[in-house]
Structure 1
Amino acid sequence: MVTLSDVAKQANVSKMTVSRVINHPEQVTPELRCLVEEAMTALNYHPNAAAKALANNRTNVIKVVILEDIDTTEPYYMSLIFGIAKGLDKEGYALQLVTDRAHLTGGNRADGYIVTGERARDIPLLEQLNQPFVIFGENRYGFDYIDSDNKAGTALATNYALAKNYQSIVFIGLDVKESFEYSREAGYINTLQQHKKIPQIYRLANHSRVSQAFINENWRKFAPDTCFICASDRIAVGVERGIIENGGDVPRDFGIIGFDGVFLDQVANPQLTTVKQPVQQLGELLARMLLQKLAQSGAQQGELLVTPELITRGSTRE
C-alpha cells in the first residue's frame, strides 16, 4: 500500500508538505502542489477521506434536509437526492437525510446543509444553523440557492399554448405564498400581457384529487378551446382526469401543461406536456455549490437558475 512517505520520497519533499497539499492546499505554492499531485498520480495514491476530514476538523457529512411531506409514490425527491449524492461522492462526502425539523440541529455533526421544502415559517430555524447551508428553491431572504428558472418555464408553457391557438389560457397555481410560485405565475402573466390577453388564475392545494374536484365543480365555467397551465404535474393530472370525466376532448378542445417532468407526466393518460426540471442535475449543482462554500469558509455563493425544458406530449395539440 502506498503511503504518505512514499509520495514525499517520489516528490522529493517532506511528509509535512504532502500533508499540507492534501489538507490545506492554499498554504503551499502552485509549483509545490503540482509536484506533489504528480507524485500522487504516478503512485496511484488516494488520501484517506476520514483522515483528511479529521485533519481539517470536519466530518465529511452533509445533511440533506427536506422540510415538506414526501410522497413516496413519486421519484422527484429520489432524483434530487441521487443527484446530490453523486455530487458529494465525487469529493468523498457522505449524505445524511433529515426529514424531521426536530432533528435538524441535533444528532450527529455535519459540515453543512442542503435544505429544500422550506417555507416562510422555517426561516428562523434556518437562521439558527451554525454551519454553511444552501437552499433548493427560490427565496427572498438572502440565502444562497439553486432552482429551475420558474418564470422562464411557465413563459415557455404559455407561449406554446398560444402557438397551438387555444383561445383561453388558465393558470392553476399552488396555494402557497412562496417565491417559486410567484415566479411561475409571473411567467404566465407577463406572457399573456404581451399578447394583450387577460390572465385567469386559480390556486389549489398540490393534490390531484383537489384539482380534479375543482374541474368537476367548475366545469361549466370553462369553454372548449381552453388550455390549463398548471404549477405542478400533480395538479395537471387531476385537471386532465376532471376534463375527461366530464366528457371533454383532450387535446382537441382542452389542453393541459404541467410542471416538473419527473414521473406523473408519463403515467398520465394522455401523457402530459410538461415543463421538465433537470432535477438530478440540480442536485449535483447543489452539492457543488455547498462544497465550494465550505472551501471558501462560508463565503456567499449567490443564486443559480437553470432553464427548464418544455416536453410536448399528448395533452396538447400537435
Structure 2
Amino acid sequence: MPTLSDVAKEANVSKMTVSRVINHPNQVTPELRKIVLEAMHRLNYHPNSAASALASNRTNVVKFVILEDIDTTEPYYMNLLFGIAQGLQKQQFALQLVRDAADVDKGNCDGYIITGARATDSDWLDKLKKPFVLFGENRYGYDFIDTDNKLGDQLATQYAIDRNYQSIIFMGIDEKEPFEYSREAGYINTLQKYKKIPRIFRVANHSRKAQDFITNNWKKFAPDTCFICASDRIAVGVVRAIQEKGGKIPKDFGVIGFDGVFLDQVSNPKLTTIKQPIFELGQSLATMILQKVAQNGAAQGELLMPPELIKRESTR
C-alpha cells in the first residue's frame, strides 16, 4: 500500500504539503493541490479517513436535518439524500439523518444540511455552533441552495400563454415562505408582460385539499383555463377535480405542476411540470457544506439551480 511519504516523493513536495492537501485543502494553492491529487491518483493512494478526522479534530460526519413531513409515497427526499450522500462520500464524510430539531445537538458532527426551515426557526439556527447550509430559499442571510423557483414558474406561465389558454390561474401553497413567494412572482411577472390579470388561490400542499377546493369552486373556472400549480401534489388534486366535473384535459383545461420527481409520472394524464434537479441539488449541498467546514464556517452565499419544463399530457 502506498504511504504519505510515497505521495510526497511522487509529487516532489513535503509530507506536510500532502497532509495539508488532505486535511486543509483551503490552505494550499489550486496548482499545488492539483499536483498532489494527481500523484495520489497515480499511486492509487487513499487517505485513512479516520486518522485524517482525528488529526484535524473532526468527525467526518454531516447531519441532514429534515424539519418537515416526508410523504412516503413520493421519493423526493430519497433523490435528495442520494445526491447528498454521493457528494459527501467523495470526501469520505458520512451522512446522519435527523428528523427532530430537538435532536440536532445529540452526538457530534462537523456541520449540518437543513431542509424545511421556516422563519420561526431563525432563533435556534443562530445558536448552532457548527457550520450549516439550508436547502431552500431564505431571507435571513443564511447560506442556501435551491431551485430557481421564480424561473420555474416563469417557464410554466409562458408555456401556458404559448398554448393559448385564455385564463391562467396560480394554485399556490398556503405557506408564507420565500420559495412560495418566488414561484408566485414568476407567475405574476410573466402575466404582467402580456397585460393579463393574475388570479391566485392558495391551499395546503396536499392533493385532497386541492381537489376539494376546485370541486367546491368549480363554477369560477371557465373552459380554456390553465392551472399553474406550486407543486405536483396540488396539480394531481386539480386534475382529479377537473375529471370528476367532466372537464376535458388538455383541450379545455391545462394543468402544470412543480417538482417532477414522481407524482408527475403516475398522474393520469401525466403532468406537464417544472422538474427540479433534485439529485444535483443534493450534490451541491454536500459540496457547499464541505467547503464551509474546510473554511471554518466562512460564508458561502447562495446558489439557485435552473429547473426544466417537462411537457406531457396535461397541457395541449
**TM band (smaller chain):** over 0.9
Pair 1:290 & 2:270 matched: no
Q: Which residue of 2 aligns with 1:173?
A: 172
Change (3 A) 1:180 1:35: closer
Offset of 1:157 from its aligned partner? 0.6
Task: Report Cα offsets for 1:7-51 as digits up to 9, x if no partner.
Answer: 456567665554344334566678876665555344322110111
Given that 2:26 and 2:295 are in contact with CA atoms closer than 8 Å, whether structure 1 keeps it comes out as no
Q: Which residue of 2 aligns with 1:313?
A: 312
Pair 1:299 & 2:298 matched: yes
Change (3 A) 1:140 1:264: same
Q: Which residue of 2 aligns with 1:100?
A: 100
Equivalent-residue separation in structure 1 for 2:123 and 2:279 (angstroms): 29
Change (3 A) 1:42 1:292: same
Q: Which residue of 2 aligns with 1:182?
A: 181
Q: Which residue of 2 aligns with 1:151?
A: 150
Offset of 1:85 from its aligned partner? 0.6
Offset of 1:288 from its aligned partner? 0.8
Task: Report Cα offsets for 1:55-86 as digits up to 9, x if no partner.
Answer: 10000000011100101110001001111111
- TM-score normalized by structure 1? 0.94
Equivalent-residue separation in structure 2 for 1:277 and 1:30 (angstroms): 32
Aligned length: 316
Equivalent-residue separation in structure 2 for 1:180 and 1:226 (angstroms): 24
Q: Which residue of 1 aligns with 2:217?
A: 218
1:238-277 equivalence runs, <5 A: 238-277=237-276
Equivalent AA in structure 1 for residue 167 of structure 2: S
Q: Which residue of 1 aligns with 2:232?
A: 233
Equivalent AA in structure 2 for residue 140 of structure 1: R
3-state SS of paired residue (2:251): coil
Given that 2:205 and 2:234 are in contact with CA atoms closer than 8 Å, whether structure 1 keeps it comes out as yes
Change (3 A) 1:171 1:76: same
Change (3 A) 1:138 1:18: closer
Change (3 A) 1:221 1:110: same
3-state SS of paired residue (2:246): coil
Pair 1:68 & 2:71 matched: no
Q: Which residue of 1 aligns with 2:4?
A: 4
Equivalent AA in structure 1 for residue 286 of structure 2: A
Change (3 A) 1:130 1:159: same
Equivalent AA in structure 1 for residue 293 of structure 2: L
1:35-74 equivalence runs, <5 A: 37=37, 39-74=39-74
Equivalent-residue separation in structure 1 for 2:243 and 2:57 (angstroms): 60
Q: Which residue of 2 aligns with 1:278?
A: 277
Given that 2:156 and 2:228 are in contact with CA atoms closer than 8 Å, whether structure 1 keeps it comes out as yes
Change (3 A) 1:17 1:112: same
Please list every run of 5 or more consecutive structure 2 residues that lacks an aligned counterpart in the other structure. Answer: none
Please report the RMSD computed on the Cα atoms of aligned residues, expressed in angstroms.
1.9
Change (3 A) 1:239 1:17: closer
Equivalent AA in structure 2 for residue 80 of structure 1: L
Q: Which residue of 1 aligns with 2:90?
A: 90
Equivalent AA in structure 1 for residue 183 of structure 2: R
Please list every run of 5 or more consecutive structure 1 residues that lacks an aligned counterpart in the other structure. Answer: none
Equivalent-residue separation in structure 2 for 1:238 and 1:277 (angstroms): 20
Equivalent AA in structure 2 for residue 87 of structure 1: G
| Residues 306-315 or 20-29, more deviating | 20-29
3-state SS of paired residue (2:226): strand
1:113-152 equivalence runs, <5 A: 113-152=112-151
Offset of 1:294 from its aligned partner? 1.6
- TM-score normalized by structure 2? 0.94
Task: Report Cα offsets for 1:198-246 as digits up to 9, x if no partner.
Answer: 1110010000000000111011111111110000000000000000001
Offset of 1:298 from its aligned partner? 1.2
Equivalent-residue separation in structure 1 for 2:313 and 2:78 (angstroms): 26
Q: Which residue of 2 aligns with 1:81?
A: 81
Task: Report Cα offsets for 1:148-180 as digits up to 9, x if no partner.
Answer: 111111111111111111111110101100000
Equivalent-residue separation in structure 2 for 1:12 and 1:202 (angstroms): 65
Equivalent-residue separation in structure 1 for 2:33 and 2:196 (angstroms): 61
Change (3 A) 1:8 1:202: closer
Q: Which residue of 2 aligns with 1:197?
A: 196
